[in-house]
Structure 1
Amino acid sequence: MNIRLFSLIVSAYNEGGNIDGFFEAASTIVRPLAEQGFRLEIVFADDGSSDKTADKIRGLFPAAACNSIDIKLVSFSRNFGKEAAMYAGLKNAAGDFCCFIDADLQQRPETALAMLEMLLLNPDYDCVAACLENRGTGVRQKLSSSFYKILSKSSGMQDVVDEASDFRVFSRAVADALLDMPEYYRFSKGLFAWVGFKTLPFPYTPDERHSGETTWTFPKLVRYGIGGILSFSTAPLQVAIWLGLFTSAAALIYFIVVICQRLFIGIEIPGYATIVALLLMLGGVQLLVLGILGEYLARIYIQGKDRPVFIVKSYSEQLAIQEDE
């Protein structure tokens, strides 16, 4: 029987307290995968952790061999960010099907297995995306939902799955398409939508973190969202154009009003407050437009340097020994 490979791509940053628990959970899906003709591969991308994450992963190698699990470790020279870790893991994954999953056990390997089974039952689809089942009604959830709508409309991509996470199972064809886009500023949710493969939503509820605290603060999420819009849309530039047109029209109208006042009514006292308000408004609009242009120019500048998305400090792997059939 032709054995296929299922790759779990795990980005890890200071997740030393979660590595053993994640591996234990991943080991439970080895037998169900084998029954469906799959072998498990785990690709860890250590994103420049300052704790013992890399050592913990290397300590799993003997157990992985005993459980017929292929395991790989890519360690960065410093922290390059989650997107870079996901990209590095994908470059080193050999699976016929791949899965992006976090090491903190909020996203369970058992759920990844269910997503793979769903994909196998729907051969017309190439990707299954985990979506939050209980979205809630808080400010953060509303902002998240609004972000997906803005991204979809501003980028022209209609395949942006609402509330979809990076937790996805996808085919080799999708993986190869993602690898063909080695851009520096990566935004995986947008990349998945841009490549255009058919995606099935998979409702799920994240578990509590097994250990430690998340590094994704609200300001970081806001910056991440803004970066996503800048990477896949020129709408901010169009907003800048409309702001310029609006302020120019307002200035022209006010100029006509001032002339009419001078000719027909007369102006006894100069409008100091009005002038200051207009100067502040026009100055603010100009700074906003320059800031938007600066963001795009900065991205062009960094991309033009053609620097690598990540730098590998070390690479380790332990391939499970397969008995000849």
Structure 2
Amino acid sequence: MKTLSIIVPCFNEAKTLNDFICEVNRLTADLPLTKKYILVNDGSTDETLVVMKKLSQQFDNIFYLSFSRNFGKEAAILAGLTFSDGDFVTLMDADLQDPPQLLRQMYQKIVCENFDVVGCLRNSRQGEPIIRTLFSRSFYWLINKLSRTEIPSGARDFRLMTRQVVDELLRLSEVNRFSKGLFAWIGFKTTYLTYENIERKAGKTSWHFWQLVSYSIDGIVNFSDAPLNFATLTGFVSFIISLILAAFYMIKTLIFGDPVQGFPTLIVLLLLIGGIQLFSLGIIGKYIGKIFLETKHRPVYVIKEKNLD
């Protein structure tokens, strides 16, 4: 029988892990695959690791990795993919916002319709703050405009992949990872299932608004050079405007003289040009910072303890 590796990134999920395992086992009991859980503890500060160890002792198909500190969900996803060995691999959140029952449909899509990847989309964000929904939709619109790699709006990390897809993902060795973009970039025959938004089973999300903003900026920088083009264009336009203004004030002085007036205009122009320069430098600095991190060749994560090879 073929195997399914279930990768579960966890950060302070002690309250949900037991329910998650029970629900997945119950709702996928008729799935013709041998399941293997890989629980990744991303530096949790609660009893997540303790619960993982108890589950691994209770079930012989549950394994865990524990980081030395919090490295972020992207690192947890990479670690899970690296240690997975199943014929099929899925990523799931422990908060049960990813419906386990969809795994049967996803498996059928791959086996019967020859898809390589079956992802999931939320067709609504009911229950989320309005401002968060607005920014999320704006992000997907913007990144799809700026990048050649199309990422469907509402796409989740929850997806079922063949072994070949996972092997190709692991060939992408960059430190600055944006998994949704990487899933789309590698290609393969992909389809999506839609479902209604589901609230967390317990606890609170570890993703705060500004973390999501920072994550969105990283996604755009990782998959588009459009901001650099924008900075270049902005600098060129500012240069042209300055030439036009210089010619205008020179002609005005020759015709009407040179009164002291114009100080406010000068201040406004200085602030405008200075602001544009700082903004452009900030964009360039973001890209240089990414290059700097890549050249260090640091590992994406550090594992403190695990019970699998």
TM above 0.5: yes
Tell me how far 1:176 sits from its aligned partner. 0.7
The percent identity for this pair of structures is: 37
The separation in 2 between residues aligned to 1:97 and 1:151, in whole angstroms, is 29
**Letter of the aligned partner of 1:126 in structure 2?**
D
The separation in 1 between residues aligned to 2:65 and 2:186, in whole angstroms, is 26
The separation in 1 between residues aligned to 2:5 and 2:27, in whole angstroms, is 12
**Aligned partners of 1:14 and 1:51 also within 8 Å:** yes
Confirm whether residue 52 of structure 1 aligns to residue 50 of structure 2.
no
Task: Name the structure 2 match of 1:322.
Answer: none
Task: Name the structure 2 match of 1:15.
Answer: 13
Task: Name the structure 2 match of 1:290.
Answer: 281
Tell me how far 1:27 sits from its aligned partner. 1.6
Task: Name the structure 2 match of 1:153.
Answer: 145
The separation in 1 between residues aligned to 2:75 and 2:196, in whole angstroms, is 26
Tell me how far 1:196 sits from its aligned partner. 1.0
**Aligned partners of 2:125 and 2:197 also within 8 Å:** no
Structure-to-structure mapping, 1:135-284, within 5 angstroms: 135=125, 138-157=130-149, 159-284=150-275
Tell me how far 1:140 sits from its aligned partner. 3.0
What residue ranges of structure 2 are gaps of 5+ in the alignment?
none
Task: Name the structure 2 match of 1:4.
Answer: 2
Residue 29 to residue 93, structure 1, CA distance change in 2 (3 Å): farther
**Aligned partners of 1:237 and 1:293 also within 8 Å:** yes
Confirm whether residue 311 of structure 1 aligns to residue 302 of structure 2.
yes
Deviations 1:37-68 (Å, cap 9, x if unpaired)?
x1001111100111110110111124323xxx
Out of 96, 106, 121, the position equivalent to 2:97 is: 106
Tell me how far 1:30 sits from its aligned partner. 5.0
TM-score by length of 1: 0.90
The separation in 2 between residues aligned to 1:46 and 1:139, in whole angstroms, is 30
Residue 206 to residue 95, structure 1, CA distance change in 2 (3 Å): farther
Tell me how far 1:116 sits from its aligned partner. 2.2
**Aligned partners of 1:161 and 1:201 also within 8 Å:** no
The separation in 1 between residues aligned to 2:196 and 2:97, in whole angstroms, is 9
Deviations 1:181-225 (Å, cap 9, x if unpaired)?
121111011001110112111101232211110011111111110
Task: Name the structure 1 match of 2:56.
Answer: 61
Structure-to-structure mapping, 1:121-140, within 5 angstroms: 121-123=112-114, 125-135=115-125, 138-140=130-132
**Letter of the aligned partner of 2:263 in structure 1?**
Y
